[in-house]
Structures are given as C-alpha cells and as structure tokens.
Amino acid sequence: METRIILRKINYVVSIVVFCFPLFSITASEKVTLHLKWFHQFQFAGYYAAYEKGFYKNAGLDVEILESSVGIRGIHEKVVQKDGQYGVGSNELLIHRHMGKPVVVLGVIFQHSPSVLFFKRSSNLQSIHDLVGKRVMLTPWIEEIVAYLKKEGINKSDLQLLEHRFNPRDLIEGRVDAYSGYTTTQAFDFKKAGFPYVAYSPRLAGIDFYGDNFFTSEEEIKKHPNRVKAFREATLLGWQYAMSHQEEIVDIIYEKYSKRYPKERLLFEAEQMTPLIQPVLVEMGYMNPGRWKHINDIYNELGMLPKNINLKGFIYDPNPPTNYDWIYYTFFSLMVGVGIVWLYQWRRLNKQYSENLKEQVKQRTEELRQSNESLQILNQSLVQTLRELTEAQDRLLASEKLAVLGQLAAGMAHELNTPLGAIISSNYSLYDFLKNKLQSVIETILTFNEEDSKRYHLVLQESMMNQPYIEGKSERTLKKELHTQFSGVEKMDLYGDHMQMVIETGLYRIPEKIQYVLDSERSLEILQVVTNIHSAYRCNQIITVASEKATHVIRALKNYLVSEKENTTNDSLIDIESEIETILSLYHYNLNKVTIVKTYGSDKLCFGNRDKLNQVWINLINNGLHAMSYMGTLEIKIQTEQNWIKVSIIDSGVGVPESIKNKIFEPFFTTKPNGEGMGLGLDICKKMILQMGGKIELEPSVTGACFSVWLRKAQV
C-alpha cells in the first residue's frame, strides 16, 4: 500500500515538470540572430521597432540585427547552419527550398514587390519592346523582371546585360539604357537628381510577386517551436507599430542604426512602402498559398523550377489544427485497461468464495461507469470538431466565390495598362516635339534651297507611308544589306547617323533615291527633320490604336459589371450571347492560342440571375482553358430544346476519366494539382443553377469535356 502511494507522488511530480518545462524555456532571454538582406534602412523598420519597443524582449528574446552589404547572397546558408538564426528574404526562398535548403517562410511583409525597370523618360525607349539590343542592368534574383520581359516577347539574349553596380548615376549619366531597382528607394534618388524617369512594373503583365519576407529553418521550428512563434508574433507587432509611427522609426534608424541615408529619403521610402504592404487592408504577415503557386508557375516558365512543387512545410502555420490523436489513444488505452481489469476480475471470481461475488460485481460496475463517462466526453469532442469543419466549409464557399471574380484581375491590368502606358509615352513625345523641336524643324525647312526642298518632300512622303516599324534583328540585317549596297558611299557608315535615319524615315524602301538625297551637303539635316516629323506622326498612330484598344476593354468590363436594364440580385431577362461575349472579351489575354467556335441559335434570352450566371460562365470557360493548357479549341453552343435554352461549353482538353465523372460536382473534389483549386467551383455552379430552376450536367464528348447548362426560356 505504501509503495503505491510513493509511486503516485513520483508520477505527479514528473507530470508537473513535463508540463511546465515549455513555459520555463521561453521565460529566459534567448539569444537569436536576424540577418537583413541589405543596409539599414526603412525597408526593415518593423524589426527595429520590435527591438526598440521591447516586443522582442517581452517575448523572452535577445535579438541581434545584422545588416548585409552583399544582398541576399549567403543569408540562406547562415540561417540553416545553426539554431537561433532568422533572415529576411524574397521569392528566391522557393528556389532554395527546392534545392534542398530546409528554409520555412514565417510571414510576408510586402504584399506586392517594389521591383521595377527604370527608363529615362526622354530617351528613345518609347515602350518596353524598345529594349531589344539596349544596355540593361538587372539585379540578382530579379526573375520577376525577366518573366515580365519574356511575357512581352523579350529574352535575356536580346539585351546587352551589364553587371549591376547599384549606382543610380549609371542611368542618370547614360551609361545604361534601363536599370532595375525599387520604387521605394531608387525613385527617390532619381527625383532628388531631377532625373525624368519611367518605371515599368511586372504587375502590368499580371506578374504579381511578393516582396520581403522573414524566414527560418525547419530545424529551428522543430527544436524551438515556442521561440519561433514568439519571434513571429513580436516581429509582426513591430511592423504594425512601424507603419503607424513612421517618423518615430525614421528617427530611431537615423540615430541608432545608420546615417548612410538622410531622413528625407527614409520618409520617402516609408511612404512608398505603405501601398505595397497594405497594412490596413491586409493582415500583417499574411501569405496565400495560391500566390506562392503563381510564383512557382512563373519560375517554371523561366525553366528554374518544376511545375507544382510541394509547398507543404514551406509555409509556416502559426495555428496548426488541433491534434485529437491523444483522445483516440486514451480511449483505446482505457478500453484495453477495462478489458484487462475485467479478465482479472473474472479470474478472481472463479477463485473466490461465493460471499465475495457481490463485492466484485460492484467494483466492475463502477469501472464500466467510468468508461461510459469517458466515451461521453469523447463524443462531445467529436461533435465540436464536426461543427468546426462545417464552419470552415462555409468560409471556403465564400472564398471560392471571391476567387472566381479575382481570376480576371491580372489579365485586366495587362489589357488596360499596356495601351495606357503607350498613350502616356507617346503623348510625352508629342509634347516634347511641339515644345522643343517644332520651331527648329520649321526654321530648318525654310532655309532649304529648291533642290533640297525636293529631297525633303521626297523623304517626307515616303516616311508617311503606313509601313511596319522595323526593329531588332530585322533592323540589323537591313543595315548590313544597305552597307554592302552603298559600300562606296562614305555617309552610309554601318553605325553612322545617315544609316540610322535612312531606316527610320523609310527611305530604304526606295533605294534608287538614296544616292540622290545623300548628294546634298545638307542630307543629314533633311533626314533629321523628316525623322522628327515621322516620330510625331508615329506617336499619333500609337495613341489612336491604344485608345481604341483601351476603349474596347473598358466597354467589355462595364458590360460585365454594370447592367442598366436589370437588377442583378434577382431573376431578370438575360441575353446569354451578350453576356458570354463580354466574358470572352475580358478573357481575351488568355485566348491568344485558343480557337473559339461559336454556334448561337435564334433564341438566346432566358430568365435568371445575371451575376450568378456570369460566375457560372467564368468557371466553365476557365476550367476548359485550364484543361487545354490554354491551347486548342473551345466551342460554345446555344440551342433551344422545348421550354429550355441549352448552353454547352466544349473544350479539346484531356477530358474527364470515366472513373470520376460521378464525383466532379462534389464539394472539395478536384483533379487540379495542390494550390490550383479547392474543388468548389463546379459545386457552387451546380447550386446556383438549381436555385434558378435549371440544371447542369457533364455530357459525353468525342474529345475533351462538354458541360451543358439548361435554363428557363424567356417568353417574350
């Protein structure tokens, strides 16, 4: 009896020690190191705020903040080498993770990357496509800029790549034609120098990368989970404080960390960071697996990563789901214990005298009562778990509805910003011509003699012909041909001004007149005057084409979002053809390699909810494009069957296997890789069509998949 009491006391003491040990481990001040990716500046304001305002100290952490003079190179190795190491990185973490470095991103600070490509506003670079053959400086790991150029049809081999010296004077003084940098810092240097610049962001092409994040290693999370969680929470508190007290943190950085940059520059950096971090709209540190999947896809297009790499373990989860395994283990152990006790009691009952039978039964009844109480507790826990899963499903349904609308965002940005950027650039060139060059052109023309005037009118007439603009390899080939043809003419030097202007004015198209123009002593002035006039004429053409394209996109977007004739929240009369054409216009940027086949019947009016039907068309068209990998044929049919209008969307993709046809409308069932879909799109479409009194089915198809929607025919 005494031995049992002693063992119970020992077990109690051990349990208290085991339970309290994690609490003791974080009360002491733990030494950790944070490696920055650049010099001390407002880009890292949240970490300074967490340290100076005591957030790290209150979390039991003694944090050493180290700046880097070589960028992100080497930080990842330092973080994974030993415990207590943290770092500030960017999207390259995904590549290092795939290369075998066990890095884990704890939180994203910049929801949008500040990386852009700077041009001189008054240079001969009128658009991103004029970069071909030009001198360009790209910073390391700036693959989002490379992806942007590739999406615009420009490869790195088309550029004269120079080593980036991180000196804005290289662009200001003309040693380079384009210069990659941050809108938060380099933009200040250019404005301070009075340098006119244009900044092109990858977001114009729908490439939306994250900016800075902070990360650690798998080993750190495994050995010190409480320390990692405390560091993350204190860091996010620091960022919230820094973005709400920008001037105070600027003073701290300047006085305590570095006087390398003036306060004016630090305040400018803070102001530019606000729309990139979005501290009011987005929870600090938030990151979406879908965005990381988007980044993976871009790296895959560049040949740097395989498609659909596994993100499990890469994205830190501060609130992992509750593990209920202990309940099952406890229940199993309890049942085993009950069985053992029951067998033990049964054996004793067979050995004891009949006078002990009543006492043994009483003991067994008490044990069964305790087992029943444990089962009731387990049942209540399972009911609570089911309730939590139901709530999570409702949230996922709402998230999927928002995701359907968000699928158009990247493409619309590209469709609108490209023509608007062309208009702005061309308008500036026209302004420069009218203000600075027109008077000089007129004065020069008036000084021409009769023969030079004839030459001038000849070149001007040819330059105004609506001919395609020659650039890149075609321009270099043409120069070589002209140089060979006029090898005896000194003015037609391969790299000379005459050669360049003969091509720009279009004089090369009438080679028999080239010698006639060059015979004039003022041939260079004649060509320069025509070049200036032709540039203004070309800018006018660009503005006309770009305006028409932007107007078309805006009109399509207006038709999709706004209806002047009906209330989109209730059933109303809907023109199916018009709505589908609007959506195809919005998806124009994804249809470059897709053939659209339309078969529209005479009856195209139905009753339904316009907003919900548009969500259905977007889901079905997007699924078809994804199944075809955005290459192939997409057929859209509108037919009449008795009192129904049947809309069929048929793709030429891989089709739906027979084994899963009965599952595709089930919630959370998806054939897409992890991170590309939650399996809610078709389930939501089916529910919305049923609410409108229609139906949706997967029909047999010779190739690909055929989804058909039946809607009530309008009686008009």
Q: Is residue 323 domain-resident?
A: no
Q: How confident is the model at residue 634 (pLDDT cuts 50, 70, 90)?
A: very high
Whether residues 134 and 230 share a domain: the answer is no
Whether residues 99 and 127 share a domain: the answer is no
pLDDT in tens, 406-465: 555 555 555 566 667 667 777 877 777 788 888 888 988 888 898 989 888 998 888 887
Average pLDDT over every residue of 316-338? 76
Q: Is residue 25 domain-resident?
A: no
Instruction: Specify whether the CB–CB gap between 118 and 199 falls below 8 A.
Output: yes
Kindly report the backbone phi and psi dihedral angles of residue 115, in degrees, each rounded to the nearest multiple of 5, phi listed first.
Answer: -70, 130
State residue 17's pLDDT score. Answer: 40
In order, the DSSP letters of 457-497 are: HHHHHHHTS--PPP-HHHHHHHHHHHHHHTTT-TT--TTSH
**Per-residue pLDDT at 405 exceeds 60:** no
Q: Is residue 23 domain-resident?
A: no
Whether residues 601 and 688 share a domain: the answer is yes
Kindly report the backbone phi and psi dihedral angles of residue 476, in degrees, each rounded to the nearest multiple of 5, phi listed first.
Answer: -65, -40
Average pLDDT over every residue of 310-338? 79
Q: How far apart are CA 611 and CA 567, in angstroms?
A: 9
| Residue 628 neighbours by CB distance under 10 Å | 19
- CA triple 283-286-289, angle to 5 deg: 145
Q: How confident is the model at residue 9 (pLDDT cuts 50, 70, 90)?
A: very low
Instruction: Specify whether the CB–CB gap between 699 and 648 falls below 8 A.
Output: yes
- CA triple 91-206-650, angle to 5 deg: 120
Q: Which residue range is the domain that position 538 belongs to?
A: 442-559
**Per-residue pLDDT at 562 exceeds 70:** no
Residues 6+ apart with CB under 8 A from 709: 616, 620, 646, 647, 648, 689, 694, 695, 696
Average pLDDT over every residue of 607-623? 85
State residue 506's pLDDT score. Answer: 84
Residue 226, domain CATH:
3.40.190.10
CA 223 to chain centre: 33
Q: Is residue 69 domain-resident?
A: yes
Whether residues 128 and 188 share a domain: the answer is yes
pLDDT in tens, 368-381: 777 677 777 877 76
Q: First vs last Cα of the chain: how many Å apart?
A: 93
Whether residues 638 and 684 share a domain: the answer is yes
State residue 261's pLDDT score. Answer: 92
Q: How confident is the model at residue 302 (pLDDT cuts 50, 70, 90)?
A: confident
Single residue among 511, 529, 559 that ends a domain in this structure:
559
pTM for the whole structure: 0.46
Sheet with 160-162, edge to edge strand ranges: 160-162, 135-137, 178-182, 115-120, 197-200
Q: Is residue 308 domain-resident?
A: no
C-alpha closest to that of 137 among 191, 91, 178: 178
Q: Is residue 5 domain-resident?
A: no
Computed over every residue of the chain, the mean pLDDT equals 81
C-alpha closest to that of 649 among 635, 639, 630: 635
Could you tell me what percent of the chain has a pLDDT over 90?
A: 25
Q: How confident is the model at residue 117 (pLDDT cuts 50, 70, 90)?
A: very high
Bridge partners for 647 per DSSP: 638, 709
Q: Is residue 364 domain-resident?
A: no
Whether residues 138 and 104 share a domain: the answer is no
State residue 555's pLDDT score. Answer: 61
Whether residues 464 and 542 share a domain: the answer is yes
C-alpha closest to that of 609 among 711, 716, 715: 711
Average pLDDT over every residue of 303-319? 88
CA 136 to chain centre: 24
State residue 211's pLDDT score. Answer: 86
Could you tell me what percent of the chain has a pLDDT over 70?
A: 82
Higher-confidence position of 472 and 316:
316
Single residue among 559, 583, 598 that ends a domain in this structure:
559
Average pLDDT over every residue of 58-74? 84
Average pLDDT over every residue of 85-102? 90
Whether residues 223 and 88 share a domain: the answer is yes
Average pLDDT over every residue of 194-216? 90
Average pLDDT over every residue of 319-329? 67
**Per-residue pLDDT at 59 exceeds 90:** yes
Whether residues 266 and 144 share a domain: the answer is no
**Per-residue pLDDT at 52 exceeds 90:** yes
Average pLDDT over every residue of 318-329? 69
pLDDT in tens, 672-684: 666 556 667 788 8
State residue 250's pLDDT score. Answer: 95
Q: Angle at which helices 357-406 and 681-691 pack, to 10 degrees? A: 80
Average pLDDT over every residue of 483-500? 83
Q: Is residue 356 domain-resident?
A: no
Average pLDDT over every residue of 79-107? 90
The tokens for 27 are: 């009360």
Q: How far apart are CA 66 and CA 35, in angstroms?
A: 5
Whether residues 106 and 124 share a domain: the answer is no
Whether residues 592 and 512 share a domain: the answer is no
State residue 674's pLDDT score. Answer: 60
- CA triple 215-219-223, angle to 5 deg: 110
One-letter-per-residue 3-state SS of 152-179: CCCCHHHCEEECCCCCCHHHHCCCCCEE
Q: How far apart are CA 57 and CA 53, in angstroms?
A: 9
Average pLDDT over every residue of 149-164? 88
Q: Angle at which helices 438-446 and 523-561 pack, to 10 degrees? A: 140
- CA triple 258-260-261, angle to 5 deg: 105
- CA triple 617-618-622, angle to 5 deg: 115
Instruction: Give the DSSP H or E segment for 644.
Output: strand 644-651
What's the domain count of the chain?
4
On the CB side of 429, CA atoms within 13 Å amount to 26
Residues 6+ apart with CB under 8 A from 402: none
**Per-residue pLDDT at 7 exceeds 50:** no
Average pLDDT over every residue of 305-329? 80
Single residue among 262, 281, 302 that ends a domain in this structure:
302
State residue 589's pLDDT score. Answer: 67
Whether residues 75 and 216 share a domain: the answer is yes
State residue 56's pLDDT score. Answer: 95
State residue 122's pLDDT score. Answer: 78
Range scoring the smallest mean pLDDT among 63-67, 107-111, 622-626: 622-626
